[in-house]
Amino acid sequence: MMKTAVTALFYCFSQLGWLAGAAPVPMMGMGTLRPSGIPQARDASRDGCPCPMFQLSAMEATAEFVVESPDVVYGPDAIEAQYEYRTTCVSREGGVLKVYPTSTRFTFRTVRQVPRLGVMLVGWGGNNGSTLTAAVLANRLRLSWPTRTGRKEANYYGSLTQAGTVSLGLDAEGQEVFVPFSALLPMVAPDDLVFDGWDISSVNLAEAMRRAQVLDWGLQEQLWPHMESLRPRPSVYIPEFIAANQSARADNLILGTRAQQLEQIRRDIRDFRSSAGLDKVIVLWTANTERFCEVVPGLNDTAENLLRTIQLGLEVSPSTLFAVASILEGCAFLNGSPQNTLVPGALELARQRRVFVGGDDFKSGQTKVKSVLVDFLIGSGLKTMSIVSYNHLGNNDGQNLSAPPQFRSKEVSKSSVVDDMVQSNPVLYAPGEEPDHCVVIKYVPYVGDSKRALDEYTSELMLGGTNTLVLHNTCEDSLLAAPIMLDLVLLTELCQRVSFCTDADPEPQTFHSVLSLLSFLFKAPLVPPGSPVVNALFRQRSCIENILRACVGLPPQNHMLLEHKMERPGLTRGGAVVAACPVPCKKGPAPTAPNGCTGDANGHSQVDAPQMPTT
């Protein structure tokens, strides 16, 4: 039974676009690095078509759709949708929980024009940065290359937006119709992204790709001439924030005071935006894990104090400098490492400037599995009491994490991933009770970017029994992180084009500056003050999907399929009327037993059932 359940979990991962993915979505435009000989596909929404619509089928891999509803209006500039948000409010009265259904009417407006988007990576020359750049180039150039198992073609497997699908509903035959996640709303095509960034190492992106040892040699050879001219801008290096073993790479630095470094970062952002002719820039930290920065009243607790701290040259981490510079330039900032980059002062500054920020720490391998497996165990009523996670890896991330202060940052982000699942079940866990949770990371240079993760989960069963699951997971670290970085950028940009109002508050507003919608992609997701932290992976994915569905007036995906569970189906769908159960039975009609029972018992026919005596 447990083996079947775990197998089902890995099938679910394939539906998330992690272990498998759909065919890549057709290209939608031309980026600056695309050779002129590669054709450009047209986007109907850019040509003024108010409601692009293609034929759908249950097996359609790529499609756009239109919602036929009086609550949805496709204008030339925006999609406007009326949406009824239904939830519940719970109060405790005299020992009784009283539940009150509530309803709020939203009007969502999504701008249809897709901007020209630039991405600036802090740590561009690292494994993640060079791999993401290579992936976009390989897809843009439609590259293929030989391997020992055959030819491989560029794709975006592992990306929720590019390789994941969503269900629109049932067709006339009762079959679910799936479309790519990216078809829900107009999104930037990943092939159109323009890259730039900073790194403390001066090597160009081709050399960085070769140093990372992530990609097959045949692919590296094809990408080399396209990446050789890409070189990171100088970056900020403050030795006490990262491991001492990183000093050998630090030959490409922004010098001067903290205030001068901040101004140089801002100039770099402005230069990139203007020189590349961009509409928007998003800054993403994918550089080294830093040690935690202590939050000190008067130093970094407010926006004013943080800006003064920078001017005075007091302690501030490099990642916080980049965050502040991005916010001041009106650019969203995303933190892909576990340290507390977004200190309270940075969060307040983002709120004041109405700029999106998100973090912390890409959720790519072992932690993603953990956020599913623990949810499965506790959701099944099993009391997980011990979680032991061991990792070893040999890339530069592993070398940096071999220093205790940097490891502590990672340990905190990896350990908090099960908290909400434990707290969700007071039947199993008393207040303050939680599983033993141990995280170990070791540096083994030989394995390179191929991180090995070993986990042991021990749970209590009924009547004193125990169940232990042991899992070995080989994670190609950067090949898992790169599509997550892609999704972060694309979803953040999409959220910048969404606004909404309610009947009670007709003034348009946007999402909170702390973009918690991105929690699916982070180990330790940041949320607005007072908001619940959700780590369970499927709840996080449902949040993204259902908010995007709301933007086109579709109800949330509830998986009830009531039309298939009724004795006398009475729900109607568009199209032809079909039988109550459209799925063909694997066996013939069940025989009628002498005792009047029909059907099978545990897969065995009732034909030979004994006759019941009659009197």
- For residues 104 and 429, give the distance between their C-alpha atoms in angstroms, rounded to a whole number: 34
Reading the block at residue 495, the tokens are: 């959220």
Buried/exposed code over 157-188 (b: 16+ C-beta within 10 A; e: otherwise): bbbbbbbbbbebebbeebeebbbbbbbbbbbb
In sequence order, the β-bridge partners of residue 392 are 442, 452
Q: How far is CA 209 from CA 27, 237, 298, 534, in A?
A: 24, 22, 42, 35
Cα angle: 238, vertex 363, 132; to 5 degrees: 70
Q: Per the structure block, which two tokens stand in for 578?
A: 């079909």
What tokens were used for 384? 């997980």
Percent helix, strand, coil in the chain, to 5, is 35, 20, 45
Residues 49-82: b if buried by 16+ CB within 10 A, e if exposed: eebbeeebeeebeebbbebeeeebbbeeebbbbb
Buried b (16+ CB within 10 A) or exposed e, 192-218: bbbbbbbbbbbbbbbbbbbbbebbeee
Q: Read off the DSSP letter of residue 24.
A: P
- What is 233-266 written as a DSSP string? BPB---GGGS-GGGGGG--SB--S-HHHHHHHHH
Q: Are 185 and 551 in contact (CB under 8 A)?
A: yes
- Provide the sign of the torsion angle of the four alpha carbons 409, 357, 555, 46, taken in this order: negative
Indicate the length of the chain as a whole number: 615
**Catalytic residues, which ones?**
361, 410, 451, 523
> How many other C-beta atoms can be found within 10 angstroms of the C-beta atom of residue 569?
16
Q: Which of helix, strand or coil describes residue 384?
A: strand
Q: Which two tokens stand for residue 322?
A: 């980049």
